[in-house]
Amino acid sequence: MRLFPILTALLVSAVLYGLVMERDRLVTFADGFRNEDPMPAEETVVAETVAPVAETWGHVSVVVRRSQAAEVDAAVALRGRTEAARQVEARAETSGLIVSQPIRAGAFVNEGQLLCEIALGTRAAAQAEAQARLAEATARLPEATARLAEAEARLTEAEINNNAASRLAESGFASETRAASTAAMVSAAEAAIRSAQAGVEAAMSGIESAEASLGRAEEEIARLQVFAPFAGLLESDTAEIGSLMQPGALCATVIQLDPIKLVGFVPEAEVDRVAVGAPAAARLATGAQVRGTVSFLSRSADPQTRTFRVEITVDNADLSIRDGQTADILIASEGLMAHLLPSSALTLNDEGILGLRIVDQDQIARFAPVTFLRDNADGVLLAGLPDQADVIIVGQEYVTDGVLVDPRFEDLTQ
- The pLDDT of residue 39 is 47
Structural domains of the chain, count: 4
Residue 178 lies in a domain: yes
What is each CA distance from 245 to 227, 236, 242, 255, in whole angstroms? Answer: 15, 16, 9, 22
Residue 93 lies in a domain: no
Q: Indicate the range of 6-15, 138-147, 237-246, 399-408 predicted with least confidence.
A: 6-15
Task: Specify whether 327 is located in the same domain as 306.
Answer: yes
Task: Specify whether 325 is located in the same domain as 349.
Answer: no
Domain boundary among 312, 332, 352: 332
Domain boundary among 290, 316, 332: 332
Q: What's the CATH number where 356 sits?
A: 2.40.420.20
Q: Indicate the range of 30-44, 91-105, 156-170, 397-411 predicted with least confidence.
A: 30-44
Instruction: Average the pLDDT over 95-119 and give the result.
Output: 93
Residue 5 lies in a domain: yes
> Is the per-residue pLDDT at 49 higher than 50?
no
> Is the per-residue pLDDT at 1 higher than 50?
no
Task: Specify whether 343 is located in the same domain as 307.
Answer: no
> Is the per-residue pLDDT at 82 higher than 80?
yes
Residue 312 lies in a domain: yes
Instruction: Average the pLDDT over 395-413 and give the result.
Output: 83
Task: Specify whether 326 is located in the same domain as 347.
Answer: no
Mean pLDDT, all residues of the chain: 82
Task: Specify whether 134 is located in the same domain as 182.
Answer: yes
> Is the per-residue pLDDT at 161 higher than 80?
no
| Beta carbons of 260 and 316 less than 8 angstroms apart | yes
Alpha carbon distance 190, 159 (integer Å): 10
Task: Give 226's pLDDT tier (boundaries 50, 70, 90).
Answer: very high
Residue 56 lies in a domain: no
> Is the per-residue pLDDT at 162 higher than 80?
no
pLDDT digits (tens, 9 = 90+) for 165-201: 666 666 655 555 665 666 667 677 777 777 777 777 8
Reference 76, options 379, 373, 377, 290; nearest CA is 373
Domain range spanning residue 392?
A: 63-71+336-409
What is each CA distance from 116 to 102, 104, 239, 251, in whole angstroms? Answer: 8, 12, 7, 6
Model-wide pTM > 0.75: no
Residue 181 lies in a domain: yes
DSSP assignment of 184-228? HHHHHHHHHHHHHHHHHHHHHHHHHHHHHHHHHHHHHHHTTEEE-
Q: What's the CATH number where 313 sits?
A: 2.40.30.170
Q: Indicate the range of 147-156, 362-371, 386-395 predicted with least confidence.
A: 147-156
Crossing angle of helices 4-21 and 23-36, in 10° steps, is: 80
Residue 186 lies in a domain: yes
pLDDT digits (tens, 9 = 90+) for 259-316: 999 999 999 888 888 999 999 999 999 999 999 999 999 999 988 989 999 999 999 9
pLDDT digits (tens, 9 = 90+) for 342-360: 999 999 988 889 999 999 9
> Is the per-residue pLDDT at 55 higher than 80?
no
- The pLDDT of residue 174 is 52
Alpha carbon distance 207, 142 (integer Å): 12
Q: What percent of the chain has pLDDT over 70?
A: 80
